[in-house]
Amino acid sequence: MRARIIGIGFVGVLAGVLALAGGCGGGNGRLSARDYVRETSTVCSHANRAIARITGPHLELAVDGTSVTERIVAIHRDSVDSLRRLRPPKDYEGMAKLWIALVDQSVDELDAMRTSLRAGDSNAAFEYAQKASVLDARSREIARRQGITPCKVPELVR
């Protein structure tokens, strides 16, 4: 009985790995520029829509609390993981690394803002929000130059 369960588990894992490889342009192959732009835009568009559903048009994260920010961080962390799994064309590689790093760092700053808000340190939260906004603006500019729909951190400071 035990060998059977392990065997089924291995087949399931193998099927999952093969499905992931097929969904990412086939194993070690790089995506074409067109496919990379399409795939990354899809990842960010999904994240942006998910965040828009929870934030609404008038949310100010630094005022409205930490639970919404926690959900936004989780959505963007999933997006960053998805972006990292995509294999850009060789000539997009440097741009992709920088862009994803900026998105990732803006999410880290957003998470630090949430932690500061929880601790009651509004000054630190404001500084983290400013850093997240600057990093987000940089990442959006890089994405736009390549024709990619950017992953957006909601407006944090007004």
The rounded distance, in Å, linking the Cα atoms of 136 and 102 is 7
Q: Note whether residue 153 is domain-resident.
A: no
pLDDT in tens, 80-139: 999 999 999 999 999 999 999 999 999 999 999 989 988 989 899 899 989 999 999 999
pLDDT of residue 156: 66
Between CA 154 and CA 145, with CA 55 as vertex, the angle to 5 degrees is: 30
Are residue 21 and residue 74 in the same domain, yes or no?
Answer: no
pTM, 2 dp: 0.76
pLDDT of residue 121: 92
Are residue 6 and residue 81 in the same domain, yes or no?
Answer: no
The rounded distance, in Å, linking the Cα atoms of 93 and 83 is 12
Are residue 37 and residue 84 in the same domain, yes or no?
Answer: yes
Q: Note whether residue 152 is domain-resident.
A: no
Domain that holds residue 2: 1-30
Q: Note whether residue 92 is domain-resident.
A: yes
Are residue 40 and residue 69 in the same domain, yes or no?
Answer: yes
pLDDT in tens, 5-42: 333 333 333 333 333 444 444 455 899 999 999 999 99
Residues in Cβ contact with 149 at an 8 Å cutoff, skipping those fewer than 6 apart = 40, 41, 42, 44, 45, 48, 143
The one-letter amino acid at 19: A
